[in-house]
Amino acid sequence: MKTWKKIRDKFSYFLNSVPEGLAPVVGSLLILLITFALVGVVVSSVDFSKVKNLQPPMARITLESCEGGLYGVGPLANRARFEENMIVLIHEGGDPLPLDSISIKIFGYGNSFQGSISEGTGKRIEGSIQVLYMDLTKNGKNTKYYVVNNKATIEDGLWDVGERLVLCGRDSAVGTVESSVKVSVNGDDNTSDNYGFKAGSEINLKVVDRKGRNVIAERTAIVKIAE
C-alpha cells in the first residue's frame, strides 16, 4: 500500500506541474505506465514452479511386449502360469512419472482365482477381466515378482525416460499385506488378485495420472503365448 501511495502522490504532483493542455495526454500515458508496473508486480509475485506442478505429467509410453495365457485350462500349448503373464512398458520421453501417483488399468479376456492357489483350494474364474494397479510403488506388491522385476525403477520413486516397467500376473501382495493390485472377472472382485490373459486375445492398457485423473497413455496389444 505504501508503494501505491508514493506512485499516486508523484502522479498528482506531475499532473499539477504540466501545462493544462497536455494534462489529459500525460495523464493517459502515466495511467498506462502505472498499469504495466502493477502487472509486473503481480507477475513477479506468482510462484511459477507451483503453477508448473499443477500441470498434468506428459510422457510417451510404449508397450514393448505382452505374453501370457490362461491358467489351468485349454490345450497345454496355450496354458500359462500367472507369473508367466508379462507386460513390458517403456518410458520413451517426457516427464518422469512419480510411482505413487500413477495407476495402470488393463482390460481384456482372461482368468483369475478365488481362494488359495498355494493351498490348492478355491477355483479359477474366467471372463471379461479388469486389472488395476492402484499405484506403481512397491507397497502392496509381491516382492518376488514386482519388486525384483522393477528394482531400478522403484529405487528413486520415479519412472524415468529409458526405464522399463514390468507387470506380471503375480504382482499382487501375498500373506496379510493388503494388495495394491486389484483384479475383477465379469465384475466379481472377490479374487486372489492374480491374472492371466488368453493367448491371441487383445488387451487394452491405460496409464493414468491419479491426481489429475487424466490418461497419460493408452495402448493395445495382442497377447502372445508365453514361451
Q: State the DSSP code for 146.
A: I
Convert the pLDDT of each residue in 75-88 to its tens digit.
888 889 999 999 99
Inform me whether the pLDDT recorded for 95 exceeds 70.
yes
107 shares its domain with 205 = yes
**In sequence order, what are the beta bridge partners of 102?**
209
Report if residue 160 sits inside a domain. Answer: yes
Q: Which domain holds residue 9?
A: 2-46
The winner for highest mean pLDDT among 7-16, 35-44, 66-75, 149-158 is 149-158
Report if residue 205 sits inside a domain. Answer: yes
What's the pLDDT at 159? Answer: 98
41 shares its domain with 108 = no
Number of domains in the chain: 2
Instruction: Read off the C-alpha cell for 14.
Output: 506531475
Reported confidence tier of residue 23, pLDDT bands at 50, 70, 90: low
**In sequence order, what are the beta bridge partners of 22?**
none
Convert the pLDDT of each residue in 29-47 to its tens digit.
546 656 655 555 444 555 5
Reported confidence tier of residue 134, pLDDT bands at 50, 70, 90: very high
What's the pLDDT at 77? Answer: 81
The percent of residues in the chain predicted with pLDDT above 90, rounded, is: 63
What's the pLDDT at 227? Answer: 84
Residue 82, φ and ψ in degrees, nearest 5: -55, -40
Query: For the stretch 73-110, what's the b/e string if a residue is b when 16 or more beta carbons lie within 10 angstroms of its beta carbon?
Result: eeeeeebbbbbbbbbbbbbeeebebbbeebbbbbbbbb
Dihedral sign, Cα of residue 124, residue 125, residue 126, residue 129:
negative
Containing H/E element for 145? none
33 shares its domain with 110 = no
If phi > 0 it is left, if psi is from -120 to 50 it is alpha, else beta; for residue 193 that is: left
84 shares its domain with 102 = yes
